[in-house]
Chain A
Amino acid sequence: DIQMTQSPSTLSASVGDRVTITCRASQSISIYLAWYQQKPGKAPKLLIYKASSLESGVPSRFSGSGSGTEFTLTISSLQPDDFATYYCQQYNSYCTFGQGTKLEIK
């Protein structure tokens, strides 16, 4: 099975900050990586697919990059609505999620 490891597990930041979350795969997954945002009590929301493609309707301050085993999600200027938990997910071989990164208000 492919393991996905996110870092950090928790990230404290302020409105307007630029933040980056990293996701590493235990083996190459090409570009078959998605990012989701989840708020408490809600279902996850797709943000990015194929490592860097922005899902329709998602603000352009979200961006993704990477290939192979190392990937990043960047939020260019944090907005109050962005404080949530973020998950990466590989879909090169079935499906595996990272453990999540909780983005907190500093």
Chain B
Amino acid sequence: QVQLVQSEAVVKKPGASVKVSCKASGYTFTSYYMHWVRQAPGQGLEWMGIINPSGGSTNYAQKFQGRVTMTRDTSTSTVYMELSSLRSEDTAVYFCARGVATNSYYFDYWGQGTLVTVSS
């Protein structure tokens, strides 16, 4: 069965960077694009960007361009999302989510979420 397992919760100071991982299993890793979506406490869902695990190409939401980097490791079927220059407003649960089809922007499987807390 398809599973997306994310890294554990983390606390970071303002100005630092965070790197969240998402390990995929139960399907061919390189056949489905992966997205990152975040949710601030008590708020809605916000799309951050997409990575093609096959070639590594990415496309980021304009809001995060310059601060986010998405990468992948095909040997371990893992995608990563790194967010830099953290501020308190980046406190949120970060989800990886599998695109339903190639370059599709809706999602059939989600990770369990990783809480990133930005606090001094």
Measuring CB to CB, which residues of chain A are less than 8 angstroms from any residue of chain B? 1, 34, 36, 43-46, 49, 55, 87, 89, 91, 94-100
Query: What is the CB-to-nearest-CB distance from A38 to chain B, in angstroms, rounded to a whole number?
Result: 8
Measuring CB to CB, which residues of chain B are less than 8 angstroms from any residue of chain A? 35, 44-47, 59, 61-62, 95, 97, 100, 104-108, 110-113
Q: Write out the residue numbers on chain A whose beta carbons fall within 8 Å of the beta carbon of B95.
A: 43-44
Q: Write out the residue numbers on chain A whose beta carbons fall within 8 Å of the beta carbon of B111.
A: 43
Q: A-B contact count, CB below 8 Å?
A: 46
In the docked arrangement, what's the CA distance between A91 and B103, Å? 11
In the docked arrangement, what's the CA distance between A55 and B97, Å? 16
Q: Write out the residue numbers on chain A whose beta carbons fall within 8 Å of the beta carbon of B105.
A: 91, 94-95
Nearest A residue to B47 by beta-carbon distance? A95
Q: Write out the residue numbers on chain B whose beta carbons fall within 8 Å of the beta carbon of A44.
A: 45, 95, 107, 110
Q: A46-B107, A94-B59, A94-B61 are in contact. List 6 more A-B contacts (CB 8 A).
A: A43-B111, A43-B112, A44-B95, A46-B100, A91-B106, A95-B105
A-B contacts, 17 of them at CB < 8 A, read A43-B110, A43-B112, A43-B113, A44-B45, A45-B110, A46-B100, A46-B108, A87-B45, A91-B106, A94-B61, A94-B105, A96-B47, A97-B44, A97-B45, A97-B47, A98-B44, A100-B44
